[in-house]
Chain A
Amino acid sequence: MKSKLWILFKNITVNNYKFNKKFSSSNIPKTIFNIILALLVSVVVIAYSALYSYLATSFAKEYNLEQYIPMLFYLVTQFFIFMFSIYRVKSMLFDSSDNDMLFSMPLKPQTILASRMLTLLSVNYVLTILIYAPSLFIYGMVSQITIAYILGAVISVIFLPFIPTVLSSIVGYIIAFVSSKVNSKKIIETIVTFIMFILVFVGVSQIQSFGTIFINNVETIDMVLNNILIFPGLLFKAMYNSNILALIAYIVLNIILFFVFCLILSKGYKNIINRLKEIKKVKKKGEVKFEKTNDITITLIKKEFRRYISIPVYVVNTFFGMILLILFAGSTIFIDKTTIINELFNTSQDAQMGLTIFPFIIMVIAFTMLMSNTAGSSISLEGKNLWILKTLPVDIKKVLKSKVLFNILVILPISIISLVIVFFTFNLTLTELLIGILFEILISIFVGEFGIIINLKYPKINYINETQVVKQSLSSFLCVMLPMVVIMVMPIIYFIASYTISINVFVMIICGILLLINALFYLLINTWGVKKFNKL
């Protein structure tokens, strides 16, 4: 008889990844594009990982420490898995639309939870293969390896995601538990998730110093592996000392931890899911507030705003850039500007400050604004409610315009405030401030219009939960990644151009290009965009 856990896992996976979808000639180009894009991203990540592990292994070899490099990548990969899993936990474990169906079936809550944990785990194997596996291969190339190493390497790829998946699930569980206890669930969830992400962001920024500590404290590494990092410690013994007992202990402990976690957390699982669905009831009857009549565009923007704040993952994903920007601007008030300049440019020449900081500020602003694309998911998020907009007596141009305007409202005010703060803290010139504001206005329009166009081209209307749209859709990926590639190239172009033109002229040229692109996008949205929207 088939295990119920397997039946559930198989069907959830088939449903999530649409394995049943038949290929038709119309979706072949899209499928090929998706495969090429996935392969391209994978190759880039694997190349980066291989390069870093090669450099690290070569460096460590000088100190006879190369055997620790796969362990270092093991821990780094676990950290990344933990980080990427936190936002997925809420949607995969608690917000699934199949909750009612599954809980009415003869299934134990721990089976339902375990099937979802396995689904989460299966996604994390992608990161394991992209980040961790190259380091094992590189070590194998530069050192003499044994059968025990190969066996341990294969086993470690299988079990590496277990602990970070469990840890991120515990964090997700805590967020869900806290949110389920209060009335303002969405707000609490957004705040707690933001705090988690900021902590993780701080953690990522410390990875470089972690590597330095690692190299400088050779004598304590074994102690840490044996007493604190027990799981990688056991793996280490198995791989390098051919200790089969350690390998068995590593496997058994990982499996026990995973299933014990499922068993413990399944106790309050159903209650948390149901409490999260409860909506705050109006206490007094007859307290109906009627709003004054608004302009259609304002009404549509208000609708966008209400939906925006009701989807925590949407806010976290598209507002994180703004949080970083305001933190950066705020930090310039309290931290000595010379220190920031020295950190950034590795120079102590105060005289260069005024000349070098403006391009950097422009880069930070562009980077954080491009991270904040709300429009790129806004059409997909209409989902099953798309019919409402389509049947309203409203010009579709206005609908699309409201989504662009909302994106501008989310990013432009904070960007301008941040620029004004750094204008004072870094003593920028008035010309730089004005050019900066013009740049921000143009880039905010670009972000909104680009998001709408990409989302119209690659909509994801039939989604299982909002996280799929906001974090995992092609549209949201392209909306952030394509402009980011351009931004990465900009410093190189500026570096070449800086011999002939000043930064102000360079930014003005960029503004001119943006103006042209924005005008073209505007025309595109009002013609192709409207037609495409009507066809959805």
Chain B
Amino acid sequence: MLKIENLTKKYGDKSAIDNLNLEVQDGEIFGFIGHNGAGKTTTIKCMVGILEFDNGNIYINGNSIKDEPLKCKKDIAYIPDNPDIYENLTGISYLNFVADIFEIDKKTREERINKYAEAFEIKNELQDLISSYSHGMKQKLVIISALIHTPKLLILDEPFVGLDPKASFTLKEIMKEMTKEGAAIFFSSHVLEVVEKLCDKIGIIKEGKLITYGTVEEVKGNESLEEVFLELIKDEK
């Protein structure tokens, strides 16, 4: 579903991502971890077509994000780390807006919005202005908007930040359900326990380079993921 080949992204002379390669298959959950400023969000922004990159390529469902961005974007959904959305729309207007962009018919959007709004316990607030929402409620709304078109690849940047325990649980359940139906999930997180339990594959990024990549068992061996992560990102002095 997702294939990143020799991805390089530079800011001036500095490489934010340096020759990164990885693959996520259908039905897999991939956890992307790294310390602050390691290049996680830049990688994600390149994947979803927000940032252009200098070298390499990213393929989503066999299509290149460089050459066929619209095809790729129809297959993905992106949940950013900061739910920066139209504050002066109501929750339902925002969901309708996203559904319109993804060309979802009325019946389908109604079903999906009802299903996920009930799951995230936000249905009664959908008529309110987004500016009146808390951070967590905005995050829930962005998650629902990402699920409206049943994406083949769900890309999440720090999705659990701001969510209450129940919403976190609901999101994890939805992620598992989606992978059962064949979708792939790529998410970045600092919550290593969640990554360890939820993911099939893990990648650890440091200063723009992928330093470890493989199944959870391959990466952590007999140690905890936290121990492995701290060992790997230690500065070599």
Residues on A close to B: CB < 8 A? 1-2, 4, 7-8, 11-12, 14-16, 18-22, 97-101, 103-108, 270-271, 274, 278, 281, 462, 464
Contacts and interface: CB of A to CB of B under 8 A. Distances in A.
B101 A106 contact: yes
Contacts of B87: 15, 462, 464
B123 interface: no
Given A15-B88, A16-B88, A274-B52, 8 more contacts: A11-B86, A19-B88, A20-B88, A98-B84, A104-B78, A106-B70, A106-B74, A107-B73
Nearest to B128: A22
Nearest to A183: B12
**Which size bracket describes the interface of B in this complex?**
20 to 34
> Is the contact region of chain A dominated by helix, strand, or loop, or is it mixed?
loop
B52 A271 contact: yes
B49 A281 contact: no
B50 A103 contact: yes
A20 B90 contact: yes
The list of the 9 closest CB pairs from A to B, nearest first, reads A106-B73, A15-B86, A104-B48, A104-B78, A7-B100, A15-B88, A18-B88, A11-B97, A106-B74
A1 B101 CA distance: 11
A274 B88 contact: no
A21 B129 CA distance: 7
Interface in B36-51: 45, 48-51
Contacts of B73: 104-107
> Is the contact region of chain B dominated by helix, strand, or loop, or is it mixed?
mixed
Given A101-B80, A274-B50, A14 B85 contact: no
B102 interface: yes
Nearest to A109: B69
Interface string B166-181: 0000000000000000
A271 B88 CA distance: 27
Interface in B69-121: 69-70, 73-74, 76, 78, 80, 84-90, 93-94, 97-98, 100-103
B221 to A, nearest CB: 33
Given A106-B102, A281-B11, A281-B14, A101 B88 contact: no
A274 B51 contact: yes
Nearest to A271: B52
B97 to A, nearest CB: 5
A317 to B, nearest CB: 23
15 contacts: A2-B100, A11-B93, A11-B94, A14-B89, A15-B86, A20-B93, A22-B129, A97-B84, A100-B45, A100-B50, A103-B50, A106-B70, A270-B52, A271-B52, A464-B87
Contacts of B224: none
A180 B221 CA distance: 46
A101 B103 CA distance: 17
A532 B223 CA distance: 56
Contacts of B131: 462
B100 A100 contact: no
Nearest to A464: B87
Nearest to B89: A15
A105 B93 contact: no
Contacts of A18: 88
B88 to A, nearest CB: 4
